[in-house]
Amino acid sequence: MIKVVNVFFIVFFLCTIAYANEDLFAKGNVYYSEGKYDEAIKAYTGAIDEGYESANVYYNIGNCYFKIGKIGMAILFYERARQIEPRNKDLLYNEAYARTFIKPMDDSTGAFIKIKHMINAPFSVLTINGLTIALCMFYLLIILTLIGRLYSAAIRKYSVVIVSVAVVFLVFGAYALYGQATLLGKKAVVVEQKAEVLFGPFEKATIFYTLPEGATVKVLEKQDKWYKVERPDGKAGWVTKGVVEII
């Protein structure tokens, strides 16, 4: 009897927390509809702090920040939402629109970077788990095709095409998966209007280059209050931690 009572109270407690979190999310929606974006952000953030984490709440926070003109923070939360739900059309549209407000970086985007982007683009709509499953399916397709060609003339006829296409997707997909995996916990967004990237992790270091608000970088190293960041063309330098936020 005691065990049954304990289970009842545990379930009741969890339901109460879930209801409270949903209530904060609902309050955030009300504030957003009234144009009270700062209050909405506080409500949504409170829901996250209490364990109510979802693509919707991150997406809504991103919309709030966009409304108040904080493009970097908007893109940060759009990116967090996209890690959970990468195929949400509204999310993809809003993020793409927000990125049109980012000032171009003074980097030299070479052919290799453009090719890299083209390879990764088709796989960006998949999470790491989804991409892993897709790669397993391509690998299984190759194995089944090679086995099938031993017993079926029809499969043997098209086996070269099937295997060739599957291998291409497998190789490019593996490359994209590696890229996503290496960015886990390292991809960051500039949330200030301008980030001065220095040659060294100290205040009086010479400025190497600047990054615009909303730019996406890779965090290579952490040292006290400093992040060593790398932009797409490979140039790396140091910024203070408050200037960028890790996705």
Question: DSSP string of 179-216?
Answer: HHHHTTTTEEEE-SSEEEEESSSSTTSPEEEEEETT-E
Rounded Cα distance, 78 and 143, in Å: 38
Any idea where the domains of the chain sit in the sequence? 2-99, 111-182, 187-246
DSSP tally for the chain: helices H, then strands E: 8, 7
Is residue 18 over pLDDT 80? no
- Give CB contacts under 8 A, 24+ apart, made by 175-181: 175/119, 175/120, 176/119, 176/120, 176/123, 176/124, 176/131, 177/123, 177/128, 177/131, 177/132, 177/135, 179/116, 179/120, 180/123, 180/128, 180/131, 181/128
Q: What is the pLDDT of residues 30-80, one digit of tens each?
A: 999 999 999 999 999 999 998 888 999 999 999 999 999 999 999 999 999
- Give the pLDDT mean for 97-118: 73
| Cβ contacts of 79 within 8 Å, gap of 6 or more | 95, 187, 189, 216, 247
Q: What is the pLDDT of residues 161-176, one digit of tens each?
A: 999 999 999 999 998 8
Is residue 1 over pLDDT 60? no
- pLDDT band at residue 100 under the 50/70/90 scheme: very high
pLDDT at 121: 76
Is residue 81 over pLDDT 90? yes
Q: What CATH number has the domain spanning 187-246?
A: 2.30.30.40
What percent of the chain stands above pLDDT 90?
60
Is residue 7 over pLDDT 90? no
Rounded Cα distance, 77 and 66, in Å: 10
pLDDT at 16: 41
- pLDDT band at residue 110 under the 50/70/90 scheme: low
pLDDT at 155: 87
Rounded Cα distance, 41 and 55, in Å: 15
Q: Are 68 and 84 in contact (CB under 8 A)?
A: no
Cα 24 to Cα 27, 60, 113: the distances in Å are: 5, 13, 42
pLDDT at 6: 47
pLDDT at 160: 92
- pLDDT band at residue 124 under the 50/70/90 scheme: confident
Nearest to 76 by CA among 86, 87, 65: 65
| Cβ contacts of 141 within 8 Å, gap of 6 or more | 162, 166
2-99 belongs to which CATH class?
mainly alpha
Q: Are 199 and 89 in contact (CB under 8 A)?
A: no
Q: Provide the phi-psi class of 47: left if phi over 0, else alpha when psi is between -120 and 50, else beta.
A: alpha
SS3 assignment, position 152? coil
